[in-house]
């Protein structure tokens, strides 16, 4: 999209973005829960769901006009960054799963400390990406809550 995209009032923007936001949140939450839980099957399923659904949602989000207020623009930016971070983390985990399926564990055992350090560094990088993604989702949730409260003061934002 170009630098000078059309802007819309916050209420119209919110009506357009909320279905995307509501679709993305449970996917991102499931990924975070599976990552923290460490269950390989749950994590593998969450990675697949992130890689299958979030890129499309991110593309749809990128096509929406910009909101007018600064608070809504921040909410939009936080959501975009969060989606990008979750997809990045899922791609990294997917590549690690592929390496593991090809016998990475055997390589670690046969190559010793160097391969073990590589594997550990890769896991640490994925953990940093996942942690950043969760932080960005929290910021997006906070931003959306603020925009919703501003537009509908009596409304209770969903968490």
Tokens matching residue 157: 């934002």
**95 is a domain residue:** yes
**131 is a domain residue:** yes
Q: What is the pLDDT of residue 61?
A: 93
**89 is a domain residue:** yes
**93 is a domain residue:** yes
Q: Give mean pLDDT in consecutive 10-residue pieces for the chain, a chain of 159 residues.
A: 72 92 92 80 88 95 92 91 91 79 61 65 78 85 84 57
**115 is a domain residue:** yes
**98 is a domain residue:** yes
**132 is a domain residue:** yes
Q: What is the pLDDT of residue 107?
A: 57
**82 is a domain residue:** yes
Q: How many domains does the chain have?
A: 1
Q: How far is CA 108 from CA 1, 64, 100, 115, 127, in A?
A: 44, 46, 10, 5, 20
Please state the pTM of the whole predicted model: 0.78
Alpha carbons 97 and 1: distance in angstroms, whole number: 34
> By residue range, what is the domain housing residue 58?
9-145
* Phi, psi (deg, nearest 5) at residue 69: -75, 155
Residues 6 or more apart whose Cβ sits within 8 Å of residue 112:
none
């Amino acid at each position: 999209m170009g630098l000078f995209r059309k802007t819309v009032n916050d209420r119209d923007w919110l009506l357009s973005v909320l279905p995307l936001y509501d679709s993305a949140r449970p996917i991102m939450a499931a990924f975070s829960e599976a990552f923290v839980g460490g269950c390989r099957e749950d994590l593998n399923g969450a990675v697949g769901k992130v890689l299958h659904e979030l890129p499309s949602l991110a593309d749809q989000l990128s096509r929406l006009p910009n909101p007018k207020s600064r608070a809504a623009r921040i909410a939009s930016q936080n959501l975009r960054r969060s989606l990008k971070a979750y997809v990045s983390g899922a791609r990294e985990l997917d590549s690690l799963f592929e390496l593991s399926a090809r016998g990475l564990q055997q390589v670690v055992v046969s190559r010793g400390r160097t391969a073990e350090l590589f594997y550990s560094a890769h896991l640490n990088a994925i953990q940093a990406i996942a942690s950043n993604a969760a932080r960005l989702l929290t910021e997006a949730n906070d931003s959306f809550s603020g925009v919703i409260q501003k537009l509908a003061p009596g409304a209770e934002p969903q968490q």
